[in-house]
Amino acid sequence: MGSIDPQTIWQERVAKKQQECFDKIPTEWRISTDLTTGLQVPLSENKNDLIQADIIRKAGLLTERELEITEQYTPTGLVSALADGRLTSIEVTLAYCKRAAVVHQLVSCLTETMFAEAQARAQYLDDLRAQGRSAGPLHGLPVSIKDNFHYKGTEATIGMVSFLDDVSTENSPLVDILLKLGAVIYVKTNIPQTMMTTDSHNNVFGRTLNPWNTALGAGGSSGGEGALIALRGSPLGVGTDIGGSVRIPALCCGTYGFRPSASRIPNGGMRICNTSGMKFILSCAGPLSLDLNGIELLMESVLNAQPAVYDSTVIDVPWRKVDVKPKLRIGVVPEDPIFPLHPPVRRVLTEATRKLEAQGHRIIPLSAKECQLLAVNAVAWSIFQLDDAAVKHILSAGEPVVPAMHHIRKQGEVLRQSHSSSMPDVSGLDRLGQLALLNTKRAELREMYRKLWVRYDLDVCISPPAQSTAVAHDTFGLPPYTAFLNTLDYPSCVIPFGKVGEQDAAENFELQDGQVGPEYDFKQLEGAPCSIQVFTSTMRDEECLQMAKQIDQCLNMIVCSLSAKSPKCLFWLVTDAMLSSPAVWRDLQERVIAATGSTILVPIHDDARDQPLLMTILHREGLVSSISEDTALQICSFFSIGPSLSMELCQMIRSRIQGSPMLLLRPYTTVARVLLRCMGNQTPYYDTDLSDCASSLQTLRNAQITKAENVGSFLALGLSLVTFHRLISGVSASTICRYTLSLVRPYYYANQLSSSDSMELTCLVFMDTTQSLFRARIPVIQYQVRDPYIVDRHAGLCGPLLPLLYRVCLLAAAIRTGSGDVPSPASFDSLTEEITAWTPNISKDALERFSQEEMYLLVTQASLHRTAALLILHRLRYPFGEKDEEAEALSRTIISEITHCLALANQYPPNITLIFLVAGAEVHDTAGKRHLLSLITKIMGANFYPFVANLRMFLARAWAGRDQGTSRYLFRLFEEDPELSIPL
């Protein structure tokens, strides 16, 4: 224990430490006080969603490249990109150092920063890579660690004054292993006082805030890790867990967290505040990440690194490759009446159970009596109370006990008074006798659970991870739904699933006598992440993770709440089509032979008995996913104007997949998965999604269309890949769009396309034309109006406007390149008159086909594009500074119409975001800019669509240029970033 100068009061020592920590943040990485002007302060007392506010981007300290690195890659994706040279360790490390610094200044999640050392190590690793060598499976990957790990040259204070100024002289064993594997350790993260509460608050480093709602706790004791990872300040972190200290921050902050079996991951050589040698329920080091592949990466890498060589307390069992059954027997731990669940937690557990059952898993409900949650937890709490060393550390330094510790003690007292008969009776025993009795009771409970697994033949169990989501600071209290698994020593994983929503508002919740838990305040908790917990019996860590991945896929990807053969299931008809397609069977036969080297198991097309085998393999290959009709319409409505066109899009997708299942099912389902995750505020994509679409992109690149009847399939493939790219990246998908159009252009001009091809074609032409307007280039296809009354799900009534927009592009390209004749004033006047005179064609059929609101949105979309075309044409003729009054009048017309549409229909027409940019470039006054930015937040998908961030950036650039008196043409603003996506 560090020595304490009696002449130095604890506050002075803390102030010195806090100043040292602040000074380590480079001046250029410090956030502006203006950043919090749009937030409710103080942050810890007010509800602020830093994630939805996109606060890191707003800070303006990270470059676009750094934002891409920290936001668009998973841990495994980073490792892959580092290995093949797409990324360097130095740029990845710098990006995460900067982001961690920004995150810390908002939520107080760090205790030690090693930014300079980390960058030096990253450079060393890059030099090593340049020599063709690799340090290990984590080569170049930044990894954050909890404060209790020793890292040579830093302090491991664990938030206690008594350990201040005690510099670590060596690394903890796990730190040495991570470095050996190639990781870059760059920060240590905050914890609670004593590390034995569920709120990461201490007197040295202060309180860690929850990024989803700063008025709520981040959980503990690895709360700094949870908050840092939730705001993407770390791709992969390591915490420790003795009662839920990895899993509770994961559930509070909406991340994944894994508690391994005790002694699998090195846990020795760390700072502790309990009496040395008094280890009863063992703490476990475990990872946190935003996906399960990252957690598996750390587990597999560490366990295959011979950890027993570094730590004598480790059970030396290397990582095992395991297969799990496609259909699981899942036990469900219910609500315990002594520890009642908040309404959203109860709802999420029920929803998870239903979804898993709908996917064919066998659900085995367990009873509260069988699970004996109080009895198991009582053993844990009684064991923890045998050691009072932590309190002595606090008293020796003169610092006060934090409120969360008082709260936990009060809850414990309620349980002792109300349920004394369920508590272990240790009266009259000395500490050794108490320990013996408690260990005996623990062994009995573990044996009881062993029999439970055998009785029901369970593969895995799910449970609530806590009584609540994140709650108000200092009120989380006891963790009964995680601590019981520490007592049993079961590996367990927290999976984010859903959020507190309106459906949870009506339910009443009130604690009864003898019950303990946090109070429930819906308004305070609305929007907080929800989770479930997955666990297996001890030492089955590999199985636990694999089954957690299986359950995660069921819950957070494309799932169906209907039975497998429900006629309402969108993809059941697709499956029927696949079963009747000889081409599918031939492809399948080739796969089976390649995988098995045998023709014995090859399914036969006309043998109905082999259809289940086909379905099994297709499911395993990820080629068949069940999407309910409601979910399909939800997806299609995101890309369409109103329910009528959404239904038509849904039917078209079904038809396309039936016609070309092997070509289109994978990219379509990938887009659906990513969109559903985005709308659910989850990790948007995984490496498998990138791999699937990369394979489809290669197919598109190699395509040679020899028959007109194949055009529609490749239009659909190109459009699905463009859509996927736009969902995950702020980089332009224009190359894919233009390449697809170039493939089909000969058939289009030869008038060989069928009417069913018009939907995808018009979408792609509309995208290419609008991109070309801003890049001042010529579109691939000059659209020909063959049906003046066509209504497109993307372009709406704007199809007949496309030829006029094409002519605007020709003028822009001529001005940009300086080639050919300079457009004459007469050509501008003529085109302006034609665009002004243009009105959308509305047939009687359309009036009957669409609702009044749908027609309003369609007409508004057309009107906005016409006005935007006039404004673009004006700015091609007159650069900024000339005839600004006319441009500003057109801008006001656009903004007024957008505002009116939002007020009347409570939504915008889809695909008008480029219009914000056209109109916004003409706005000068502060109030007008604020109004426009507020309108942008109402764009569908604004909270996750990458190009919406580009829209804000381009507007900022336009405004800065105008403020500096630029006289450039509008399209010149975008030449600096030719690869960035123009908002569509």
**971: Cβ–Cβ under 8 A, 6 or more apart, which residues?**
773, 774, 775, 776, 812, 816, 876
Average pLDDT over residues 635-661: 76
Band of pLDDT at residue 603, cut at 50, 70 and 90: very low
Q: Is the pLDDT of residue 293 over 80?
A: yes
- So what's the pLDDT on residue 960? 83
Q: Is the dihedral of CA 601, 603, 607, 613 positive or negative?
A: positive
pLDDT at 757: 85
Question: Could you tell me the pLDDT band of residue 573, with boundaries at 50, 70 and 90?
Answer: very low
Structure tokens at 728: 């995950």
pLDDT bucket at 512, cuts 50 / 70 / 90: very high
pLDDT tens, position by position, 125-183? 999 999 999 999 999 999 999 999 999 999 999 999 999 999 999 999 999 999 999 99
Return the CATH fold of 329-387+395-556.
Amidase signature (AS) enzymes (3.90.1300)
What pLDDT, on the 0 to 100 scale, is given for residue 689? 76
pLDDT bin (cut points 50, 70, 90) of residue 977 is: low
At 595 the pLDDT is: 46
Catalytic residue among 17, 98, 146, 188: 146
- Spatial distance between the Cα atoms of 58 and 902, rounded to a whole number of angstroms: 25
93-117 mean pLDDT:
98
**Could you give the residue ranges of the DSSP H alpha helices within 597-660?**
611-620, 629-638, 642-659
Residue 883, phi then psi, degrees to nearest 5: 50, 45
pLDDT at 628: 54
Active site (annotated) includes residue 245: yes
Q: Which residues of 440-462 are buried (b: 16+ CB within 10 A; e: fewer)?
A: ebbeebbeebeebbeebebbbbb
Q: Per this entry, what is the length of the chain?
A: 984
Number of alpha carbons in the 13 Å side-chain half-sphere of residue 840: 25
A 10 A CB-CB count for 545 gives 25
Whether 628 and 614 have beta carbons less than 8 Å apart is answered as: no
Residue 131: what pLDDT?
94
pLDDT at position 4 over 80 = no
Q: Looking at this protein, which amino acid is placed at residue 200?
A: S
Least confident of 34-38, 308-312, 771-775: 771-775
Average pLDDT over residues 825-845: 92
Mean pLDDT of 666-679: 80
Greater model confidence, 260 or 1: 260
Which numeric CATH code is attached to 10-309? 3.90.1300.10
pLDDT digits (tens, 9 = 90+) for 79-95: 998 998 989 999 999 99
Report the pLDDT value the prediction gives residue 917, as an integer from 0 to 100. Answer: 85
Per-residue confidence (pLDDT) for residue 627, from 0 to 100? 52
State yes or no: is 24 an active-site residue: no
Q: Which range is least confidently modeled, 52-66, 672-686, 712-726, 758-772?
A: 672-686
Average pLDDT, the chain: 86
- Give residue 889's pLDDT: 94
Catalytic residue among 89, 162, 245, 492: 245
Q: 278 and 435 in contact (C-beta within 8 Å)?
A: no
Q: Where are the domains of the chain?
A: 10-309, 329-387+395-556, 795-984
pLDDT in tens, 324-368: 998 999 999 999 999 999 999 999 999 999 889 877 899 999 999
pLDDT for 557: 54
The percent of residues above 70 in pLDDT, for the chain, comes to: 88
Question: Among residues 254, 198, 243, which one has the least CA distance to residue 223?
Answer: 198
Prediction pTM value: 0.62
How far apart, in Å, are the Cα atoms of 519 and each of 112, 201, 469, 473, 617?
34, 20, 11, 12, 48
Would residue 827 show up in a list of annotated catalytic residues for this protein?
no
The tens digit of pLDDT for each residue in 888-914 reads 999 999 999 999 888 888 888 877 877
Residues 6+ apart with CB under 8 A from 255: 226, 229, 230, 249, 288, 289, 290, 494, 496
What pLDDT, in 10s, does the model give residues 730-744? 666 788 888 899 999
At 502, the pLDDT band (50, 70, 90 cuts) reads: confident
* pLDDT of res. 410: 94
pLDDT of residue 264: 97
In degrees and rounded to multiples of 5, residue 628 shows phi and psi of -65, 155
Residue 571 predicted with pLDDT over 70:
no
Look at the block and give the residue holding tokens 């085995």.
364
Task: State the DSSP string of 580-600.
Answer: T-HHHHHHHHHHHHHHHS-ST
Q: Which of 168, 172, 221, 729 is catalytic?
A: 221
Give 329's contacts (C-beta < 8 A, 6+ positions apart): 361, 362, 364, 456, 457, 458, 459, 460
Do 324 and 545 touch, CB atoms closer than 8 A?
Answer: no
Q: In this predicted structure, what is the pLDDT of residue 335? A: 97
How many angstroms separate the CA atoms of 923 and 894, rounded? 11
The average pLDDT across 674-686 equals 77
pLDDT at 678: 80
Q: Identify the pLDDT of residue 946.
A: 75
CA distance 864 to 897: 8
What is d(CA 156, CA 538) in angstroms, rounded to the nearest whole number? Answer: 30
pLDDT of 498 > 50? The answer is yes
Whether 252 contacts 192, CB under 8 Å: no
Residue scoring higher pLDDT (248 or 712): 248
- Compute the average pLDDT of residues 668-676: 80
